Amino acid sequence: MQHLTIKKWKALAGTVIVGAALATSAVATAAPEGSKGFGFHKAGHHKGGEHHERMFERLAEKLELTEGQKAQVKANRDAGKEAREADRAAMREVRKQLKEAIDSGADQATLNSLGAKLGELEVRKMQRRAEMRNQFEAILTDDQKAKMEQMKAERKARWEQRKERRASQQSDQ
């Protein structure tokens, strides 16, 4: 008799866990259009804000950046902020237009035009990132550049290990 009680308890616990997972995903996907998300996914965690600030502080600490170097990085970042924000807004708008065009059954020429605009904005974003990376590396000393290359290699090795672990886990299933 006790065996049945344990089975029922396990079934109930499983149902509660699955229900909670479904409810959580429903809440996450039900965010109003234009919102910044809920909880963990609020703007500031994944998109800039405090998250990027903490990342920069850790990098500055590991590279032992001087106050002057930190100020220069901040000045470089602030100099392009308005342009980056304008491009992000433009990308959101073009994506919205593209989605609406697809949903309304627009012709291929319209879709191609919107896709080209989106592509141009993406290329510009990549160019700005490369420019910011070059500006950052330009303020580093030779020792700091060597340390940064070492950190990149270590990060790549960790990424490869995770990739291999995931591949082996998937092949085990």
CA–CA gap between residue 72 and residue 76 (Å, rounded): 6
CA–CA gap between residue 107 and residue 122 (Å, rounded): 23
Q: Residues of the chain with pLDDT > 70: what percent?
A: 72
Read off the pLDDT of residues 14-64 as tens digits, 9 standing for 90 and up: 554 545 544 444 444 444 444 444 444 444 445 556 887 888 899 999 999
Total residue count of the chain as it appears in this document = 173
Helix axis angle for 81-103 and 108-138, nearest 10°, is: 160
68 residue type, one letter: G
Per-residue confidence band for 141, with pLDDT thresholds at 50, 70 and 90: very high
| pLDDT value of position 26 | 42
Q: How high does pLDDT run on average in the chain?
A: 80
| pLDDT value of position 115 | 93
Residue 108 has pLDDT above 90, yes or no: yes
CA–CA gap between residue 13 and residue 143 (Å, rounded): 55
Tokens of 107: 């012709």
Torsion of CA 64, 66, 129, 84, to 10 degrees: 130
